[in-house]
Amino acid sequence: MAETEASATKRIAALRAEIEEHNRRYYEQAAPTISDREYDRLYRELVDLEGSFPQLVTPDSPSRRVGGEPLKAFAQIAHRVPMLSLDNTYSEEEVGAFYRRIEKLLPNEKISVVIEPKVDGVAVSLLYEEGRLRYAATRGDGTTGDDITQNIRTIHSVPKQLKGDAPRIFEVRGEVFMTKEGFAKLNSERSEAGLPVFANPRNSAAGSLKQLDPAITAQRPLGVIFYGTGGVEGMELTHHSKLFPLLRKLGLPCSERWWPAESLAEILRAIRELEKVRHDFVYETDGAVVKVDAFAQRESLGMTAKSPRWAMAFKYEAERVETKLLDILIQVGRTGVLTPVAALEPVVVSGSRVARATLHNEEEVARKDIRIGDTVVIEKAGEVIPAVVSVRTDLRDGSEKKFRMPKKCPVCGSKVVKDEGQVAVRCVNAQCPAQLKRRVEHFAARGAMDIEGLGEAMVEQLVEHKLVREVSDIYRLTSTQLGELERMGEKSVANLCAAIERSKQQPLWRLLFGLGILHVGVSAARALADHFPNLDALIEASPEELQRIPDVGEVVGASISQFFREPGNREMIEKLRAAGLRLTSDRKTAPASDSKIKGTTWVITGTLSKPRDEIAEEIVQHGGKVSGSVSKKASFVLAGEEAGSKLEKARELGLRVVDEAAFRRML
Q: What is the DSSP letter of 374?
A: -
Q: How far apart are CA 618 and CA 595, in angstroms?
A: 12
Q: Is the dihedral of CA 128, 134, 140, 143 positive or negative?
A: negative
Can you spell out the DSSP letters for 577-614? HHHT---B------S-TT-SSTT-EEEEESB-SS-HHH
Helix (H, G, I), strand (E, B) or coil at 119: strand
Could you list the beta-strand ranges (E) of 73-221: 76-78, 88-89, 113-119, 122-129, 132-138, 144-146, 169-178
Whole-angstrom Cα distance, residue 300 to residue 313?
20
Q: Max Cα separation, the chain?
A: 80
Query: 3-state DSSP helix/strand/coil percent for the chain, to nearest 5?
Result: 40, 20, 40
Could you tell me which residues are beta bridge partners of residue 417?
A: 426
353 strand-pairing partners: 348
> Does the annotation mark 104 as catalytic?
no
The strands making up 122-129's β-sheet, listed across from edge to edge, are: 132-138, 122-129, 169-178, 222-233
Choosing from 72, 104, 110, 118, the catalytic residue is 118
DSSP 8-state assignment for residue 54: G
- Closest to 176 (Cα-Cα) out of 133, 115, 120: 120
The dihedral formed by the CA atoms of 470, 472, 478 and 481, expressed in degrees to the nearest 10: 0
- Taking the CA atoms of residue 644, residue 627, residue 554 and residue 62 in that order, the dihedral angle to the nearest 10 degrees is 20
Catalytic residues: 118
